[in-house]
């Protein structure tokens, strides 16, 4: 039986998004503030995931060997560096989050049985790379506050309480929702991007965060006039709303995760052969006790 282990590492580095074959105006239009000279920095967090059988010592890989490989192949070069010149790979393809993750994979693959590289540029932006040529995923996280009530109009109060518990109380209740949206695409061999990050962020803000923030979902969002706004249904609504606009940006919606509270979250995986998530029945109870 295979086991996957994860090792965390951190490094601080700066970078700049700038292509010399473009004019200053073109760089500014494509990269915004990230094109400013002399660049900007991040405290990166790296998760290296390895897979294998357990050996006689109960390990997938000796942890000392894992730490040494990450340090010598990655951290020693990248920590307190200017990424654009730290490795030759970044002279051809800009050191975006997704491309740094890809090149870290390439540097570590000869030494470790990798299954995934996850790189956080900051807590609200990260990339995953799993060795699939130039394909990577990019995730942004955001939040909104909203109230809801879980109840079916076809049922009386006691029946709704039996299904939804306290969440069926007539005046509703609120949450500070945490939302993660992941897209998949091909890393551009020059810009290092799978999608324009500003357009991606603006799309999520304009279609999801702004319309839903500080609302009573059952009353203010037409979709939830007939669909019970469980965490599952909200995540599904986000996926249905974003899948086509993201495709227009040239990327595929990979995953939507909605965290309703520290104890409750829902996740929609969108790349299973369908072009869009199938709608959920409007009057179908989901789970009790949200």
- Between the alpha carbon of residue 206 and those of residues 65, 201, 209, 241, the distances in Å are 46, 9, 6, 11
* Residue 92: exposure state from Cβ atoms within 10 A (0-12, 13-18, ≥19): exposed
Of these residues, 167, 175, 180, 270, which one is catalytic?
167
Check residue 271 and give its pLDDT: 83
Q: Is 34 a catalytic residue?
A: no
The model's pLDDT over 120-145, given as tens digits with 9 standing for 90+, comes to 999 999 999 999 999 999 999 999 99
Give the pLDDT confidence score for residue 272 in this predicted structure: 64
Mean pLDDT, the chain, integer: 93
What CA–CA distance (Å, rounded) separates 250 from 164? 39
Do the Cβ atoms of 12 and 42 come closer than 8 Å?
Answer: yes
Give the 3-state secondary structure of residue 224. Answer: helix
Q: How is the chain split into domains, by residue range? A: 1-131, 132-290
Q: What is the pLDDT of residue 116?
A: 98
Query: With a cut of 70, which residues of the chain have pLDDT below it?
Result: 272-290
Residue 121, both tokens: 């540029």
Q: Are 142 and 204 in contact (CB under 8 A)?
A: yes
Is 214 annotated as catalytic?
A: yes
Which CATH number applies to 1-131? 3.30.479.10
Annotated catalytic residue within 214, 226, 267, 284: 214
- Tallying the residues shown for the chain, one arrives at 290
Supply 205's token pair. 């803000």
Beta-ladder partners of 139: 126, 182
| Catalytic one of 175, 232, 260, 270 | 260
The CATH H-level superfamily of 132-290 is 6-pyruvoyl tetrahydropterin synthase/QueD (3.30.479.10)
Handedness of CA 29, 30, 36, 41 (dihedral sign): positive
**Could you report the per-residue pLDDT of 53-93, keeping only the tens digit for each?**
999 999 999 999 999 999 999 999 999 999 999 999 999 99
């Amino acid at each position: 039986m295979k086991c996957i282990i994860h090792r965390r590492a951190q490094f601080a580095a700066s970078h700049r998004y700038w292509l010399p074959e473009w004019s200053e105006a073109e760089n500014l239009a494509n990269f915004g503030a990230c094109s400013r000279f002399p660049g900007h920095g991040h405290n990166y967090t790296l998760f290296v995931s390895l897979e294998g059988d357990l050996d006689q010592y109960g390990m997938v890989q000796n942890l000392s060997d894992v730490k040494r490989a990450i340090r010598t192949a990655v951290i020693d070069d990248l920590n307190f560096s200017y990424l654009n010149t730290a490795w030759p790979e970044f002279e051809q393809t800009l050191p975006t989050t997704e491309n740094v993750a890809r090149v870290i994979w390439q540097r570590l693959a000869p030494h470790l049985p990798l299954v995934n590289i996850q790189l956080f540029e900051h807590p609200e932006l990260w990339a995953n790379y799993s060795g699939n040529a130039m394909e990577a995923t990019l995730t942004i996280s955001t939040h909104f506050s909203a109230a809801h009530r879980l109840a079916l109009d076809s049922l009386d109060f006691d029946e709704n309480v039996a299904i939804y518990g306290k969440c069926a109380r007539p005046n509703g209740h609120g949450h500070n929702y945490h939302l993660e949206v992941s897209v998949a695409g091909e890393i551009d061999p020059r810009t290092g991007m799978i999608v324009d990050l500003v357009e991606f962020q603006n799309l999520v803000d304009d279609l999801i965060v702004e319309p839903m923030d500080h609302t009573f979902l059952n009353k203010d969002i037409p979709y939830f006039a007939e669909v019970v706004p469980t965490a599952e249904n909200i995540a599904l609504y986000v996926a249905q709303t974003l899948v086509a606009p993201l495709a227009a940006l040239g990327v595929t919606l990979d995953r939507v995760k909605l965290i309703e509270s520290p104890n409750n979250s829902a996740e929609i995986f969108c790349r299973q052969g369908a072009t869009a998530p199938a709608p959920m029945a409007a009057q179908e109870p989901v789970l009790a006790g949200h």
